[in-house]
Each structure stands twice: as structure tokens, then as C-alpha cells.
A and B are shown apart, each in its own frame.
Chain A
């Protein structure tokens, strides 16, 4: 090519290049561009659905130890972390006037004993009087029969005998009353002793102290805890599971537990109980997951991520969940037709797995091309082209 020709060709080439770039821009970004998508084809796979929830380590058996009446704490014998055995005295309340009340009860009991003795003596006296009066009366009856005495004297002695019997009855009743009074005071004394004993707080279990809520000298009301104990072997997880994603939740499901304190370790467990009582405010269902075995160094209140594995569904027709779209309230997928345009196909869907696979319940040919990812929202009849997304950074 001559120099003159070259000189002519350069502007034409530049112009052609400009036109090409312009045309590329129009086709690439303009309304004529096809939508870039990624495809998938359905496949038969074993699906293991799973439930996921957040749990907190709790103790299945936790005990709050406190007095039954208001009072001041006298001593606290154990501290947080201490191991205690069943029946061990762990704290005591100040008795205040309970000692004096016990002594008062004791004194009253002694007085009742004395009263009882006095009434018994009275009974004995009444018995003696009554016997004497009976004897006298029968003697006067004999004398009257022999005509030595008047009838009036006989009547008088008969009256004396009846009066003596009545006095005996009264004395016996007094003695009974005194005995009852003594029993009452005995019971009161026992109550005072029980109350006194109740001021000593004992551990009901072999366990660990997790909180020391009151120190000696502080006043607590009835029912307020002085110490809190747990059975360390009874630690489990209270797991909250979103009700919308709790299908299949039941006792016995195997669990994978990741504790926030050990993010890289997985602990096995099992659903011990599903609560009857759900939370309608948070829309969650609670399940208790027991560790199997119990890891060491577990602390209460630690958060855990719990994955519960449901039974595997063998050879289910699956698609990625990113392929699922919703058109006019109907779930389905965009199917790519032979001419590279898309058509919406409504589908019934089954279980989801945490890995993002979803079961298709309807029939779908295994060579069907299904849109998974799309750079923009598709409409029926849109042209698509497969591409790696998002290969080019921004818009």
C-alpha cells in the first residue's frame, strides 16, 4: 500500500473502530442486550434436610436455695464453684428471736407438765373422796335398814357420794385438758425447733454452686435465693428454632453443636425434648438438646449453633434453591427453551437442605435447562445467554 493510500486508510480505520466501539456499547448495555444467566439441570440426589437453631447452655436441674421466711443471712459456707454434697449445710440465717421462742416453748411445756401432775393429784384425791363417800353411803343404807337412822340422813349421804363421783369426773376432765395442753405445747416446741433448723440451708443435691446472691448480714425475703446450685451433669441446650423452618422437629434427632466458645469444634448431641409450649411472640419453638457426651469446661449461658439432621430422602429430584422464583404467587423456575428464550414453569417444591438444594415434587426432564442466576429480573420470552456471573465487577 502506498503512503497516500495509508494516509487515507488511517482515518477510515479510526472511524470504523469508533463505530465498532459505539455499536458494542449499544449492544452490550442497551436494550438490545440479552440477559446473562447461569444454568443448571435437575439431578437425582440424596437429600438430607436439616433444621438450624440458636441455643443457650442451661442446666436441666437448677436449684435456688433460700429461706422460707424473711431474715438476715448469718453465714454462707460455700462459694461459687464449690462442689457440695446432698444434705450439706451451705448457709444459715440469723435466728433473731427464735432461740428465745424455743425456750419459751420449753418453759411452757414444763409448766404444762406440772399442771398435768397437779391435775393427776386432784384426780387421785377425787377418787379417794368418791370411794369414801360411796362406802359411807352404803353404810348409812345398812343403818337405816336396821332402823338406827332417819331417811333424811341416808339421802344426805347418798347425795354426798354422787357429788364425790361428779367431782371425780371433773378432775378427770381437768387432767385430760392438761394432757391436751401439754401435747399442744409439745407440738409448738417441735415447731420452734423445726423453724430453728429451717434457718440452716442445706443442699438438696450433689452439685456445684453457680451463684452466691447474698452475703452474711444482708436481708432476704422469703423465697429469695442466697445460693444457686446446679447439677453439672445435667447441662443441655435450649434451642430456639424458627417455626417456619421447624418441619420434622422431634425428640431423638441427632444434632451437631458448635459452641460460641469453641467455634472450630463440633459436639454431637441429640434432641432430648421438644417443648409443648412455643413462643408466639418470637415465632419460635424450643427444643432441648442434650450433649452426647457432655464436653468439659462448659459454662452456662454460652450460645451455640445447633444443626439438627432430619432423615435422608433418597434419590430426590433436586435443583439449586437460587433457581426458585415466584410469579403471581406461584413458585416455579425459569426454563430455557431451545431458542434460548425463557418460560416460567410452576413447580411444587419439597424439602430444602441447608446447603441450598431443593426437592422438586413435579416431573422435570433431566436435560431441562433451568436458570439459576440471572443478572436481571427475567420476563417470559426474554433472550438469555449463559455466562459466568458476576465476572465483570460492577454494573
Chain B
């Protein structure tokens, strides 16, 4: 038995291929949109995974450190290390800022990490270079920021040498991370620029209560205490094997008067709260895009069928059965969907790396996309099939 659909397609394969290509680009956009949403969620999860923590201890009544500002004293981690179920705890600071790369601004998240071996917070896998060995002025940067090994990054008043590179180390909003030693990060976060420091000193000098004639040195002491900072944004806690996260978090909340979030709670904060609006935005757009794609596919198949009405009438005239004709149109529609999907998946894979933020094309999404495309094509073909079946065979010889 010959394939009617195959014959028909080969008859005008150029038109068919271009239609498939156009449809494919549209599907590619839809898949990319889904990938952008997945990428946002994955950025959030990557942030949590990369921190290596099981528990985030932050300032009481805040959703810190990613969704809200949080600040803690930097000796809190010592008291946390003494709690039962805590394997290790380490300070961490997060600061999203513009860093300088070759005179240009790059938006990065500067992460201050404790340098003790095994402390959570430090990147676990590098793609180039080495780990930080000096306790000051060395940095590990994400390749997303565009730095190379040996580059100097200017963060506030110091230059940091890039000694290692990471991949997929990003903040919840997709900014590449730059890891620097904790002390430097505290300074970068809290130490103001020189002008601000001078003005602050002048304010203290001018303050009658702080610069009393009978107490020389008081103003200097006040200024000195204002200029150093012993704050961090969060303490990352790793839980000893065999302990429930909640069982460790509870005493922290109750007795240390701090907030502690488990991994599940943190994911909820990041995904349900932090990126909720942008995710909904993309979701609505995705739905619109899917509806538009479905409409376009049905119109394409419909017009394709309309263009072949005379040939269909001939088929009917020579005694082809309705089922044969319907099957031909359905096959063509499904073929178009298949080509479109493959083109779409390929172009989405090809252009995904050029998006400024991470685009995650999940195989599950692709499979769902394929099913949806085939379903839409099948549904769209019913309209065309109905039109085709209603053709009067007489039109083949008439008009």
C-alpha cells in the first residue's frame, strides 16, 4: 500500500519543510519559555545546593539571607556548633553588587566564605584553577561573570585575584557569584567609602556628648567602634548524620532566639516567595504562547488542506474512502508537529546558552511538549478533516 501522506508531502516537500521549520521556531520559543521558568527555579535550588547547608540560621523574624536582609553577630556560629545534632557551622555573607571587570561593571553576588576545611559555603567543584589559600584578597568567580584566572576584581577598596572558576554558582536572581574570604567580605559589606568614614568621624567629633572636653580619646574610641564590623548574614549549618533537620532547628529557634530554616522551608521561601511574581509572569506568557501556537498550527493545517481541496475531491471521485483521506490529513498534521518539535527542541538547545540567565531544558518538559504538540496537531487536523470530508467530489471536475 502506498502512503498517501508521504506522496503528498514529497510532492511539495519544500513548502512542507518550511511550514515545519516555522512551526518549529514557534515551538522553540515556547520550549525556551518553559526553560526560562525551569532555569529560575533551578537557580534557586542551585543556590541552596551549592551553599552545602542543611540549615540556615538567620536573624529572628526575617526570611534571610536570600529573600530579606539578615544580620547576625559573627560569633553566633560558635554557640551553634555546641548544639546537639550540628556537625559543623560556618558564617557566610551575601552581597549583591557591581564589581569591576576591565573597567566594566558586572553584577555579581559576593559571597564571603569561611576558609576552614569542610566548612559549608565554599564551592565544591571548580572548573578551573584552585581553591582559596590566602586568607585575604583571593577570589573564586563563576564563569558566568566572564572572569578569567588571574584577573583582578575590584570589590570596594581592594583588588582580588581570581584563582579559581566555578560553573552554575548563581544567586536566586541568576547573578554569578564571586567567593572571597569572610573577613574581606565583612569589610566589603560594612566598611564604608573613605568620604563616608571621614564624615562620620567629623560627626562624632562634633557631637557634644561623644567629644567631651574632660574625656580625651572618647571620640576616637566611638569612631573606632563604628568602623569595625562583626556581622554576617547567615550561619550555614550542616547536620550530623542521623538527625532530623527540624529537631536541630527547634532548639536554635527556641533558645538562641534566631530563625532557622530547613532546606524545604528555604526552597519554599525562594521559589514560592522570591520568584513567585516573575514565575507567574512567565507562566501566563507561556500559556498565551501555547494557545497562540495551537491556533497557528490549526490554521496552518487548515489552510494546507484548503489548498488541496481539488486533489481531495479527485481522491473522492476515484473512490477513496473517507478514512483514507482523514488518515492522510492526520498523518500530515502529526508529521508537521514532529518536524516542528524536533526543530523547536534543536533550536532551543542551540540558543539556550546565549540567554543571559540560565535556561534549563528538562527532558520531562520536552516529552510533555511533544505530547502537547501532537495532541494540538491532532485536534487541529479535525477541523481540516471535517472540511475535507465535506468536499463535493464534483468539484474535481467542475469549476
**A327 CB to nearest chain B CB (Å):** 10
Instruction: Check if B126 sits within 8 Å of A373, measured CB to CB.
Output: yes
A374 contacts partner chain B, Cβ-Cβ < 8 Å: yes
- The answer to whether B130 touches A52, judged by C-beta atoms less than 8 angstroms apart, is no
Does A325 sit within 8 A of B, measured CB to CB? yes
Contact (A390, B143) CB under 8 Å given A53-B135, A245-B115, A321-B133: yes
Q: Which B residues touch A31, using CB under 8 A?
A: 363
B125 within 8 A of partner (CB): yes
- What does the 1/0 interface line of B200-242 toward A look like (CB < 8 Å)? 0000000000000110100000000000001000000000010
Q: Considering only CB atoms, which chain A residue lies closest to B350 in the complex?
A: A25
Interface Cβ pair total, 8 Å cutoff = 126
A393 and B143 form a contact (CB under 8 A): yes
Once the chains are docked, how many angstroms separate the CA of A182 from the CA of B117?
Answer: 77
Name the residue on A nearest B164 (C-beta): A322
**Interface residues in A268-296 (C-beta closer than 8 Å to B):** 281-282
A352 contacts B125, CB within 8 Å?
no
Are the CB atoms of A221 and B116 closer together than 8 Å?
no
Of the stretches A15-23, A89-97, A202-210, the one at the interface is A15-23
Please determine whether A54 and B127 come into contact, CB atoms closer than 8 angstroms.
no
Size of the chain B interface, CB-CB below 8 angstroms: 51
Q: Which residue of A lies closest to B143 (CB)?
A: A390
B133 touching A395, Cβ below 8 Å:
no
A353 beta carbon closer than 8 Å to chain B: yes
Interface string of B153-168 (1 = CB under 8 A from A): 0000000000111011
**Contact call A326/B124, Cβ cutoff below 8 A:** yes
Q: Quick check: B125 and A374 within 8 Å, CB to CB?
A: yes
B346 x A18 contact (CB < 8 A):
yes
Assess the B128–A242 pair: CB atoms within 8 A: no
**Is the Cβ of A18 less than 8 Å from the Cβ of B125?**
no
Interface residues of B in 308-361 (CB under 8 A from A): 339, 342-343, 345-346, 349-350, 352-354, 358-359, 361
Q: Is A147 an interface residue (CB 8 A)?
A: no
**Interface code A374-391, partner B: CB below 8 Å = 1, 0 otherwise?**
111110000000000110
Contacting B at CB under 8 A, from A315-372, are 320-322, 324-326, 328-329, 331, 352-356, 372
B144: interface (CB < 8 Å):
yes
Asked if A321 and B115 make an inter-chain contact with CB atoms under 8 angstroms apart, the answer reads no
Please measure, in the bound complex, the distance between the C-alpha atom of A378 and the C-alpha atom of B127, giving whole angstroms: 13
* Contact across chains for B342 and A30 when beta carbons are under 8 A apart: no
- Looking at the complex, which one of B127, B136, B183, B213 makes contact with A390 (CB distance below 8 Å)? B127
Specify which chain B residues have a CB less than 8 angstroms from the CB of A109 in the assembled complex: none
Q: CB distance B167 to A353 under 8 Å? A: no
CB neighbours (8 Å) of A352 from chain B are 133
B128 & A390 in contact (Cβ 8 Å cutoff): yes
Within 8 Å of chain B (Cβ to Cβ): is A224? yes
Taking CB atoms, residues of chain B closer than 8 Å to A242 are: 115, 135, 183
Q: Which chain B residue shows the least CB distance to A14?
A: B17
Residue among A325, A356, A389 making CB contact with B130, cutoff 8 Å: A356
Is the Cβ of A322 less than 8 Å from the Cβ of B136? Answer: no
Contact flags (1/0) for A6-45 with B, using CB distance below 8 Å? 0010110011001101100110111100000000000000
A54 to nearest B CB, angstroms? Answer: 5
Interface residues of B in 87-101 (CB under 8 A from A): 87-88
**Residues of B contacting A353 in the complex (Cβ-Cβ under 8 angstroms):** 133
Decide yes or no whether B68 CB sits under 8 A from chain A: no
Measured CA separation A58–B89 after assembly (Å): 35
Are A329 and B133 in contact, with the CB atoms below 8 A? no
Q: Would you give the 0/1 interface string for A154-175, flagging 1 where the beta carbon is closer than 8 Å to chain B?
A: 0000000000000000000000
Q: Answer whether residue B137 sits at the interface, using C-beta atoms and an 8 A cutoff.
A: yes
Report the nearest B residue to A49, measured CB to CB.
B133
Asked if B13 is an interface residue, CB under 8 A from chain A, the answer is yes
Which of B117, B144, B339 contacts A18, CB < 8 Å? B339
B135 to chain A, nearest CB (A): 4
- Say whether B136 contacts A54, CB under 8 Å: yes
A354 and B135 CA atoms in complex are apart in Å by: 10
Contacts of B126 in A (CB 8 A): 322, 372-374
Measured between C-beta atoms, what is the minimum distance from B83 to chain A in Å?
17
Contacts of B133 in A (CB 8 A): 52, 321, 352-356
Give per-residue flags for B119-139: 1 if the beta carbon is below 8 A from chain A beta carbons, else 0.
Answer: 000001111111101111100
The proximity string for B residues 46-79 relative to A, scoring 1 for CB distances below 8 Å and 0 otherwise, is 0001000000000000000000000000010000
- Give the shortest distance, in Å, between B369 (CB) and chain A (any CB): 13
- B115 touching A244 by the CB < 8 A rule? yes
Known: A305-B137, A356-B133. A331 touches B117 (CB 8 A): yes
Asked whether A22 lies within 8 Å of B124 as measured between CB atoms, the reply is no
Given the known interface contacts A221-B216, A331-B117, the answer about A52 and B241 at a Cβ–Cβ threshold of 8 Å is no
Among A8, A321, A328, chain B packs the most CB atoms within 10 A around the CB of A321
> CB-CB < 8 A to A241: which residues of B?
135
**Cβ B10 vs Cβ A376 within 8 A:** no
B118 within 8 A of A: yes
- B75–A395 touching, CB < 8 Å: no
Evaluate whether A374 and B127 lie within 8 angstroms (CB atoms) in the complex, with A18-B339, A29-B349, A322-B164 already known.
Answer: yes
Known A322-B164, A390-B127; contact A8-B10, beta-carbon cutoff 8 A: yes
Asked whether, in the complex, the Cβ of A354 is within 8 Å of the Cβ of B134, the reply is: yes
Let me know if A394 is at the binding interface, CB within 8 A: yes
Q: What are 26 sample pairs from A and B whose C-beta atoms fall under 8 A apart?
A: A11-B13, A18-B342, A21-B350, A22-B345, A25-B345, A25-B349, A52-B134, A219-B213, A220-B216, A221-B214, A221-B216, A224-B216, A242-B115, A244-B116, A282-B183, A321-B133, A322-B131, A328-B241, A329-B118, A356-B130, A356-B163, A373-B125, A373-B128, A389-B127, A390-B167, A392-B353
* Among all A-B residue pairs, the 10 with the closest Cβ atoms: A356-B130, A25-B349, A242-B135, A52-B134, A11-B13, A389-B127, A394-B353, A21-B346, A322-B126, A390-B127
